[in-house]
């Protein structure tokens, strides 16, 4: 059980640093991305590109040959995408037909939008807010 926990801890750590690297690369290249001039993989073009390549090699040689591991990963990915899409929709939901600012729907929206925002990477939220505040 200790061995599995260590693997999970390493995996969690790697995901966190790779997501941060991809997000930083995204933010640094946002103008090129918006213009359609950025045609690279964010991780393969980031600061941790050598780590990304090493992990790809490990994945291909050790993980992909085991069908049950791939099935679990795909199931988890599907669940997380569903949850993420639900909360993204909630975060940017704009009720129509309610002009008064302090309606119960607006109060609920603010309450649940803040919960949704807390589930999204703080770095991503910061980038979106920064771009929104600049009027872009």
Measured between alpha carbons, how far is 38 from 103 in angstroms, rounded to an integer?
Answer: 43
Instruction: Give whichever of 7-11, 61-65, 98-102 has the largest mean pLDDT.
Output: 7-11
For 44-57, what is the mean pLDDT?
90
CA distances from 106 to 84, 87, 130 (A): 21, 16, 23
Look at residue 20 in the predicted model and tell me its pLDDT.
Answer: 92
pLDDT-derived band of residue 135, with 50, 70 and 90 as boundaries? Answer: very low
Look at residue 124 in the predicted model and tell me its pLDDT.
Answer: 57
pLDDT-derived band of residue 83, with 50, 70 and 90 as boundaries? Answer: confident
Based on the domain organization, do 111 and 124 belong to the same domain? yes
For 114-120, what is the mean pLDDT?
60
Structural domain range at position 73: 69-133
Q: Which of 65, 99, 115 is the last residue of a domain?
A: 65
Based on the domain organization, do 47 and 88 belong to the same domain? no
Q: How far is CA 10 from the centre of its chain?
A: 18
| Residue 32 tokens, joined | 């090129």
Q: Which of 14, 34, 65 is the last residue of a domain?
A: 65
Chain mean pLDDT for the chain:
76
For 51-62, what is the mean pLDDT?
86
When comparing pLDDT for 111 and 20, which is higher?
20
Per residue in 73-82, pLDDT (tens digit) is 788 878 888 8
């Amino acid at each position: 059980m200790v061995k599995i926990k260590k693997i999970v801890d390493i995996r969690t750590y790697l995901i966190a640093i790779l997501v941060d690297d991809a997000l930083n690369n995204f933010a640094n290249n946002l103008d090129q991305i918006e213009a359609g001039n950025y045609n690279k993989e964010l991780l393969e073009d980031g600061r941790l590109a050598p780590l990304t390549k090493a992990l790809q090699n490990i994945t291909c040689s050790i993980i992909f040959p085991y069908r049950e591991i791939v099935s679990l990963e795909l199931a988890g990915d599907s669940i997380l995408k569903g949850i993420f899409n639900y909360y993204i929709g909630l975060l940017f939901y704009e009720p129509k037909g309610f002009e008064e600012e302090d309606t119960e729907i607006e109060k609920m929206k603010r309450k649940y939008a803040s919960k949704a925002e807390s589930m999204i990477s703080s770095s991503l939220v910061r980038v979106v807010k920064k771009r929104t505040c600049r009027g872009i």
